[in-house]
Chain A
Amino acid sequence: MAGPGWSGSRMDRQQERDVCELVRRLTGLQDQADPNFHLALNFAWSNFRFHRFLDVNSHKIEKTIDGIYEKFTIHSDLSKAASWKRLTQEFLNASLPSTEGKKTDAHYSILSLLLCLSDSPSNSNYVETPRDKEVEKKDDFDWGKYLMEGEEIDLGPNVDTPNWSEDSDDEDAQQPLSREDSGIQVDRTPLEEQDHNRRGPQVDWKVDEPGSRSWLEQHVVRQYWTTRRSRVLHSLHLHSNLAAVWDQHLYSSDPLYIPDDKVVVTETQVIRETLWLLSGVKKLFIFQLIDGKVTVRNNIVVTHLTHNCLRSVLEQIAVYGQVVFRLQEFIDEVMGHNSESLSPGNSSRKSPEAPFRTYQAFMWALYKYFISFKEELTEIEKCIINNDSTITLAIVVDKLAPRLAQLKVLHKVFSTGVAEVPPDTRNVVRASHLLNTLYKAILEYDNVGEASEQTVSLLFSLWVETVRPYLQTVDEWIVHGHLWDGAREFIIQRNKNVPVNHRDFWYATYTLYSVSEKTENEEKMSDNASASSGSDQGPSSRQHTMVSFLKPVLKQIIMAGKSMQLLKNLRCAESSACQAAARDAERKSLYTLFLESIQLRLQHGEDSTPQVLTEQQATKENLIKMQSIAERHLELDDIHDPLLAINFARLYLEQSDFHEKFAGGDVCVDRSSESVTCQTFELTLRSCLYPHIDKQYLHCCGNLMQTLKKDYRLVEYLQAMRNFFLMEGGDTMYDFYTSIFDKIREKETWQNVSFLNVQLQEAVGQRYPEDSSRLSISFENVDTTKKKLPVHTLDGLTLSYKVPWPVDIVISLECQKIYNQVFLLLLQIKWAKYSLDVLLFGELANAAERPQLKEQNTLAQFGPPQESIRQQIHRMFLLRVKLMHFVNSLHNYIMTRILHSTGLEFQHQVEEAKDLDQLIKIHYRYLSTIHDRCLLREKVSFVKEAIMKVLNLALMFAEGWQAGLGAWQMESIEKMESDFKNCHMFLVTILNKAVCRGSFPHLESLALSLMAGMEQS
């Protein structure tokens, strides 16, 4: 907003500028966009335009001036009064910048303004500043101070505040007097009211002998930081006086130009301060650190540049200084944590726990980077000190340009990876966020290709360092079975409350934190899902969750870790941990292996310099040798990957010139067709990191499998399950179930648990004595409505087998439930089969004879039923055989076709299972297969019902058979026949359809055999 009504002319614009400047000076608000600034500006303008003050009245002003004069005399402030009188008269008779004439309205107007602003003039003490030059020369010099030289001199900030017009050339004459002869400054009139706020470092110092100080100044360095004015001797050539010339121009072109108080420094000083700033020094003169922000001191000039020019250059540097400062702060924070945590002041900002290892590693990588950076800076500074080559600020900035670019990248990574993380985030999230940021940054810059080679290599080295704790954690876990993660930074964490030797160990022990980048929310997921099926179902939304680089091998890591822990526990349980002590002596850690692989990938194996990569110990000679090897390889081998070469060089050589050779293009490696793309980095990982993890995974999972199979007889237990539940141990189970069936047949009570168990023990104990103690059977009454059908009499029989600890991970209670379902089905079939089998033809024939004899006597008059009875018997024989055919086909189908062949497949798969998870999966798959094929699934329940109906029919038939012919009527036989026929028909149709569709190939044999039964009937 600026005078919209009458803008246009230049004068008005000047006025607007002036008002803006005035507001700025009065309020101290620098930012024009600040709402407060706008308010103030509006306020000023409205006051200027719409006021109710009268125009200036010269008489009134004169009167007031006289009044003040009188007031001063009354207060007996005669000198003040005299000054006042003289000055006002002088002013009224002087000419104004843009107003001609004397005693104009403008004069009075200005005086009026001052009078309005005056604030009890009589109370303030005032000493007129001598303005007359001739007088000044004599009076100005403080002889007292001069003669007291050698005393303690306090050079406070306001002591030597120069007058505003000091820069003018005609005053220069007095200057040399102060410096050259004594070494101390002239203490000029103390102008206490003129002390502008000057915040520079106040250097108080004592010098015993002024001569020594001047000696120091002459031979070491001038104390430019004390902000004293001095003339530095330099060439009078125009070029080296640009600042002065420009000042002069401003001064002569603008009467109201007020030269600032400037501190002249030399370019060398600027360069050195720049170097110091970049190496992390905080207390500097040219660059100031205010509230964590690096700014450039305002009044610095060099003689050969204008103020603005120098300032803009320095401001660019200050930005990098800021970066260095921020990173340095992080390093200090992580490094000096222990000492800091003792002071209570810091505790509010950060949680008291120590920074976790990923941050420490990252800090260490940064630290190493800074060391090399500082070395470079020191080189430059040495050059300056030696004075053997020309060094200008521009040369330095140019020389440091690659470093500065790297600093920028570092800062970007740092701020996204570390600084922007909200303070109360958990360590897991912080660590994986940092790693992900680095990883993504590498991929991102890698995509750019050639342009960012150095950046990629820098980031890669950072990443390799930072990833170290993670890899160590992984290593510790998959090799020793301890998930040691004190700061809880790893993405997988041990749940405390599950002991190893618990059934749920395999599922509930670890929690995988998958960190979502977008929401910064972490979601917990039980690794039950992730470990067994997480890898193949992973949807795209989880793209950036968890630590991306571990994602391809996460499953292996989890498996290996869990297996290892289990294995350790098994071993501990049975044998002493003898080898634990020397466990790490001969083994190379995963991290070392990883580094070695990277090296090998570079060298292509041919020139295998056996360097164990504990790079700290590597000597200089080694490094140089390696460097030359690397270069030779690069030159020899066209296929070779320059990115890796650089990475390698950075990692192990850490010599800055190595880079320059690459960048300089001496080694021209063809990178035309995306030879280095983002895949490269992933390929590197794939070939250098993943195989080691995979190897360890195979090793320990194989070990676990071996142990489980050998020492814990996993296979035997699986066999036992099949023996008893699936009745593969035919004779044993036969002994068991026939005794029950007999009881049922005799209509005795058989549901007694002790009876059942005794039968079971007797049957099992003969052949499998070691299993007899583990097996038990129970019976529970299920709902009675179903019980009416004889086939459901057996419902409620439950076999249970106590599986010892490590094996029960595989054979869980859930599995036993499925086994039991199959067991019951088998029992029912066996029962039907048994019932039909034990029927004797003779029985029926005898039964037919006896009533016939009776009937001959009593019922002869009704006609001989002889034929009908024969026919009845014959039909019963036929029905029996049909039923037997049906039950036997079913029995055969299930026992051989399904249980046996599926069992064989299962045994093969168990042999080949690589890890426990796979084994568990195989076992489940096996169970669900037999469950399906035994038609126990909900979906095919109608088939099962039909079969049950037939079985029921068979049982009822057998019952009737035993009861003798008397219980039979022709109708009931016919009904049974038709029922059976219907069921049979139905089953055959259904099964044929299914077989024709090809959806159940295993049903084919059953369908065929049933069909055969049909055709015959």
Chain B
Amino acid sequence: MASGSSSGAMSSANLNAVRETMDVLLEISRILNTGLDMETLSICVRLCEQGINPEALSSVIKELRKATEALKAAENTTS
């Protein structure tokens, strides 16, 4: 179990493998139309690996998206 910061020791083969995986995952994400970009996706992957419940995570993401939109809409109307 090596976390992100200690992964400097990873072999380059492993690095490439992980990168492949992330590519695949991004494709899946795109098929499902989740709207996640690569960086958010990698954060999510890290969190899931650390045991955050995926459903909870997804609900957080949805809620925050909603709230942000509402905030922006409010700002637009006021300005």
Contact = CB atoms under 8 A, between A and B. Distances in A.
Given A22-B40, A36-B71, A256-B22, A96 B27 contact: no
B77 interface: no
A14 B57 contact: no
A109 interface: yes
Chain B contact residues, majority secondary structure: helix
A97 B28 contact: no
Given A255-B15, A255-B18, A110 B27 contact: no
B25 to A, nearest CB: 6
A22 B19 contact: no
Interface in B11-50: 12, 14-15, 17-25, 27-40, 42-50
B31 A43 contact: no
A51 B49 contact: no
A123 B34 CA distance: 12
A36 B64 CA distance: 11
B50 A11 contact: yes
B2 A98 contact: yes
B40 A114 contact: no
A118 B33 contact: yes
A84 interface: yes
- For chain A, the bracket of interface size reads 35 or more
A412 to B, nearest CB: 30
Given A94-B21, A95-B21, A129-B27, A22 B47 contact: yes
Nearest to B53: A53
Given A47-B59, A94-B24, A254-B4, A99 B49 contact: yes
B21 A56 contact: no
A117 interface: yes
Given A98-B49, A113-B54, A115-B32, A91 B8 contact: no
B33 A87 contact: no
Chain A contact residues, majority secondary structure: helix
A99 B67 CA distance: 33
A254 B6 CA distance: 9
A28 B68 contact: yes
Contact of B30 (A22, A26, A193): A193
Contacts of A15: 46-47, 50, 52
Nearest to B21: A94
A97 B44 contact: no
A768 to B, nearest CB: 83
A128 B28 CA distance: 9
Given A106-B49, A114-B29, A255-B4, A119 B35 contact: yes
A55 interface: yes
Given A26-B65, A98-B2, A112-B54, A121 B38 contact: no
Contacts of A55: 53
A858 interface: no
Interface string A232-263: 00000000000000000000111110100000
A14 B45 contact: no
Contacts of B5: 10, 14, 254
A810 B54 CA distance: 97
A80 B31 contact: yes
A21 interface: yes
Given A18-B46, A53-B53, A23 B64 contact: yes
B3 interface: yes
A98 B4 contact: yes
A51 B55 CA distance: 9
Given A87-B28, A255-B10, A258-B38, A117 B43 contact: no
Interface in A908-954: none
Contacts of B20: 94, 131
B50 to A, nearest CB: 5
A112 B44 CA distance: 11
B33 A120 contact: yes
A111 interface: yes
A116 interface: yes
B23 to A, nearest CB: 5
Contacts of B54: 56, 109-110, 112-113, 116
Contacts of B23: 131, 165
Given A18-B43, A26-B64, A116 B49 contact: no
A112 B40 contact: no
Contacts of A673: none
Nearest to B57: A113
Contacts of B67: 27, 40
A351 interface: no
- For chain B, the bracket of interface size reads 35 or more
A116 B27 contact: no
B17 to A, nearest CB: 6
Among B34, B42, B55, B62, max chain A CB count under 10 A is at B55
Given A98-B3, A109-B54, A116-B55, A121 B27 contact: no
Contact of B40 (A25, A48, A106, A165): A25
Interface in A542-558: none
Contacts of A123: 33
B38 to A, nearest CB: 5
Nearest to A255: B18
B35 to A, nearest CB: 7
B3 A164 contact: no
Contacts of A51: 53, 55-56, 59
Interface string A1-33: 000000000110011001101110111100000
A666 interface: no
Contacts of A253: 7-8
Contact of B33 (A28, A98, A110, A124): A124
A44 interface: yes
Nearest to B19: A255
Contact of A117 (B3, B32, B50): B32
A97 B4 contact: yes
Contacts of A11: 3, 50
B64 A112 contact: no
B60 A43 contact: yes
B4 A84 contact: no
Given A11-B50, A91-B25, A121-B31, A26 B68 contact: yes
Nearest to A113: B54
A90 interface: yes
Interface in A154-172: 164-165
A961 to B, nearest CB: 101
A634 B15 CA distance: 72
Nearest to A22: B43
A5 B58 CA distance: 23
Given A51-B56, A53-B56, A253-B8, A95 B17 contact: yes
A121 B60 contact: no
Contacts of A80: 31
A165 B19 CA distance: 9
A755 interface: no
Among A99, A100, A117, A165, max chain B CB count under 10 A is at A117
A131 B20 CA distance: 9
A126 interface: yes
A77 to B, nearest CB: 10
Interface string A665-685: 000000000000000000000
A781 B71 CA distance: 86
Nearest to A194: B37
A980 B71 CA distance: 101
Given A14-B5, A116-B55, 17 more contacts: A22-B47, A22-B61, A23-B64, A26-B61, A44-B64, A47-B63, A48-B57, A53-B55, A91-B28, A96-B45, A97-B46, A112-B54, A113-B54, A114-B36, A115-B32, A129-B30, A254-B5
5 contacts: A43-B63, A91-B24, A97-B18, A121-B32, A254-B5
Q: Nearest 5 pairs between A and B by C-beta?
A: A116-B58, A118-B32, A113-B54, A53-B55, A51-B56
Interface of A: 10-11, 14-15, 18-19, 21-23, 25-28, 36, 40, 43-44, 47-48, 51, 53, 55-56, 68, 80, 83-84, 87-88, 90-91, 94-100, 106, 109-121, 123-124, 126, 128-129, 131, 164-165, 193, 196, 252-256, 258
